[in-house]
Amino acid sequence: MGEKAEYRNAIRSRTLIRGAFAELINEKDAGKITVTDIVRRADINRGTFYAHYGDPMDVARQIEDEIVEKLGDRIENCLAKDLIENPMPILLEVGQILEGDFAFYRLLISAPTSGGFLKKIRNLFVDRMMNDQRTFARYRNRKKFFANLTFFAGGMEAILENWFYGKIEGSFNEVAAMICDLNPYRKKTGDSR
């Protein structure tokens, strides 16, 4: 019984800490948020904070990692060939997550001390493609495939970052369609590699 209450308290504490961090990131630069800011806002003590996180940016990194893990689970269930030829479904899933709290993620991505959220998504995508030997073996020039995939994934990251900063206008779906149009491996009628 005590273990269950302790588990609920841990979940409650992390929720309070994350909520406080999300509020604070809307008010000030993420790199300037202190533990004191968070514990005051969450109305918890410092010990509770340190029981769950090492520092304020650890909160951001854990949020990023959880989202990347969710995407990783979804990507794992997709065939790499399908992801290469049509990344739209996974891009739309990324969009649903990001648009769910756009302002928060925009601030998180722009934080100079960020863990590289978009880079983590890019690396997840590239790693999944490169670790699927069936897909990788399908392409005759593997060095070129790796170079193209890396180039495309880096471009995708840059486009998403510019969209977040408002340099590219449109909905996430429009941006995702733009990314798919630039994909050198998109499936075309009569395509044979």
Query: Which residues in 109-127 are b (16+ Cβ under 10 Å) and which e?
Result: bebeebbebbbbbbebbbe
Rounded Cα–Cα distance for residues 176 and 40 (Å) = 40
Rounded Cα–Cα distance for residues 154 and 51 (Å) = 36
Q: Which two tokens stand for residue 113?
A: 């001390």
Task: Identify the CA nearest to 101 among candidates 109, 91, 111.
Answer: 109
Query: What is the mean predicted confidence (pLDDT) over 55-65?
Result: 86
Q: What pLDDT score does 94 carry?
A: 76
- Angstrom CA distances, 120 to 8, 164, 168, 181, stand at 30, 16, 21, 22
Rounded Cα–Cα distance for residues 138 and 36 (Å) = 54
- Angstrom CA distances, 10 to 22, 35, 49, 99, stand at 18, 17, 10, 28
Query: What is the mean predicted confidence (pLDDT) over 103-125?
Result: 72
Assign 38 a pLDDT band (cuts: 50, 70, 90): very high
Q: Which two tokens stand for residue 190?
A: 């009569």
Rounded Cα–Cα distance for residues 8 and 183 (Å) = 45
Residue 128 has pLDDT above 90, yes or no: no
